[in-house]
Chains A and B, each alone.
Chain A
Amino acid sequence: MKTLVHIVGSGPAGLSAARTALDAGARICLIDDNHAPGGQIWRGGPARWTDARARDAWNLLRGHPDCTVMQDAQVIGCGGSRTLLVETGGRGVPVPFERLVLCSGSRELSLPFPGWTLPGVTGAGGLQALIKGGMPVCGRRVVIAGTGPLLLATASTALRAGAHVAAIVEHQPWSRLSAFGFGLLSRHGRKFLQAASLFAELRGIPYVTGARLVEAQGEDVLRGVVVRTGDRDIDYACDFLAAGFGLVPNTDLARALGCEIVDGAIHVDDGQRTSRADIWAAGECTGIGGVDKAVAEGRIAALDALGLPPSGRDLPLRRASHAFAALLARTFAPGASLRAMCGPETIVCRCEDVTRARLLPHRDWREAKLATRVGMGPCQGKTCGAACAFLFGWSHEDARIPIMPATARALSDFAKQGEA
């Protein structure tokens, strides 16, 4: 009987793990909540992929007799220690596992500023994802602001979709960005070339550095944005403002399963093993580092889950990706001065419309939750939890099942089957 490995997430990490496990003669079950595989960077499905790693993996997986793919299937938690609760097609399906690889990726760090709730304001990766989903931006004016390499990737996607990119506003000062450039050049030559060609593509677009958002303006929808650099304020008229301040690992499912979390990421060892003997983790859920880290870790996780050693190439690839991750973290860590973006009347929790002023008197996340309902709405703190950690230093380590909103019907299905 072949070993069965369950994998949550079909981004670069999950596809890499799936491919590796199939190659090694295992059976796999790949579960993902999107309608097409690919995760964030490869969003949009096979027809759009240009990266050979994505195509190769999918060509092997598609129609493979040992491969089950559950797409449009959201893992909303676990029942007992070895059963995933999966909602798909409006039904609840318990999925028992013996070996599980978590490849749940990351979400964006969104920091509050006046007007960030206006229609037309999105995350930076958010705008990327929306455009990849077909949102028309042709002829619309777009400003991209925040910090990190995703700003450039988003600008490129918007430009190719026909948008007029009015400005890219990067919080880090030029000195730090040039140090990043040298870091890439000296250790990550291929990434340096990628960055250089991205810059070439974006030439002509104002690139404002050492700047921060002051406010997004508009009555019912976004009309423009004010940006501060030094002691100068610049106004841009725009239809979309994409604001992103980096990424945070998705750890909700890992927490629910009882895996140890360190510094906001799933803790793993050399074999990508979590603190649970039957669960491995790979990709951005173990720390932010991009597609190469996800692919390298996915491979090692699948091998280790099958009791196989990594090959001679795997470890150097992972080491290089971790060095890149450290360079990213050093360069683009959001500075404390960004807390000043959030005024007293700025909404912090978008689900419950809780302002900063209402949060300020409280000592911690738990107390604030009870008193103000921050983090208690449909997103369960997925947006404001990280914002409050940044603004107030509150930790928000709790994970409740369901980790995502679920239908009553799915929950009653689990209950009937004795799993919930």
Chain B
Amino acid sequence: MSPPDLSSRVVVDGVAVDVPRGVTVVAALVAANSLCTRRSVTGQRRFAFCGIGQCQECRVTVDGCANQLACGTICADGMTIATGGDW
């Protein structure tokens, strides 16, 4: 376990998880056991795919702001992340 000052607490769909400082939102999603970022146009569950901000599969809502790429967004203490958006 890392000491509290080396981790950030984020909330994924209402569930709080502690993650090491500096990791991406994708890391927080996997830590929260939530392999979902968005719903596709036909309703399929999708998750991070290319890892480098090209494919746009990992869009989530961060602190109320939609369309944020989970692979390129770094977790900040107190951040709230909502998944399953179908936009």
Contacts and interface: CB of A to CB of B under 8 A. Distances in A.
A378 B57 CA distance: 9
Contact of B55 (A33, A136, A383): A383
Contacts of A383: 49-50, 54-55
A270 interface: no
Interface string A350-380: 1111000000000000000000000001110
Interface in A98-133: 107-108, 110, 117, 119-123, 125-130, 133
Nearest to A39: B52
A388 to B, nearest CB: 15
Contact of B40 (A350, A379, A404, A405): A350
A382 B24 CA distance: 22
B46 to A, nearest CB: 6
Given A134-B24, A135-B30, A136-B31, A123 B50 contact: yes
A352 B51 contact: no
A382 B55 CA distance: 7
B46 A350 contact: yes
A176 interface: no
A353 B41 contact: yes
A107 B50 CA distance: 8
Contact of B49 (A33, A126, A378): A126
Contacts of B59: 378
A220 interface: yes
Interface residues of A, number: 36
Interface in A371-420: 377-379, 382-383, 404-405
Contacts of B31: 136
A353 B38 CA distance: 13
A405 B56 contact: yes
B79 interface: no
A255 to B, nearest CB: 15
Contact of A136 (B30, B52, B57, B67): B30
B16 interface: no
A394 B1 CA distance: 51
Given A350-B40, A353-B41, A133 B50 contact: no
A40 B52 contact: yes
A319 interface: no
Interface string B19-52: 1101110110011000110001110111111111
A134 B50 contact: no
A377 B31 CA distance: 29
Contacts of B27: 130, 133-136
A331 interface: no
A404 B55 CA distance: 10
A117 B44 contact: yes
A156 interface: no
B55 A133 contact: no
A129 B42 contact: no
A229 interface: no
A130 B46 contact: no
B23 A133 contact: yes
Contact of A130 (B22, B26, B40): B26
A221 interface: yes
A128 to B, nearest CB: 7
A352 B41 contact: yes
Given A107-B50, A120-B35, A379-B56, A133 B24 contact: yes
B51 A127 contact: yes
Nearest to B22: A134
A160 interface: no
Contact of B71 (A129, A379, A404): A129
A27 B20 CA distance: 37
B30 to A, nearest CB: 5
23 contacts: A33-B72, A34-B72, A35-B74, A107-B54, A119-B36, A122-B49, A123-B49, A125-B50, A128-B51, A129-B51, A129-B52, A133-B23, A133-B27, A135-B26, A220-B45, A350-B40, A350-B46, A353-B40, A353-B44, A377-B41, A383-B50, A383-B55, A405-B67
Given A125-B52, A126-B48, 13 more contacts: A110-B49, A120-B47, A122-B48, A123-B49, A126-B51, A127-B51, A129-B52, A130-B51, A134-B19, A134-B24, A136-B30, A221-B47, A350-B40
Interface of A: 33-35, 40, 107-108, 110, 117, 119-123, 125-130, 133-136, 220-221, 350-353, 377-379, 382-383, 404-405
Interface of B: 19-20, 22-24, 26-27, 30-31, 35-36, 40-42, 44-57, 59, 67, 71-72, 74
List the 4 closest pairs (A to B, CB-CB), nearest first: A134-B23, A129-B51, A119-B47, A134-B27
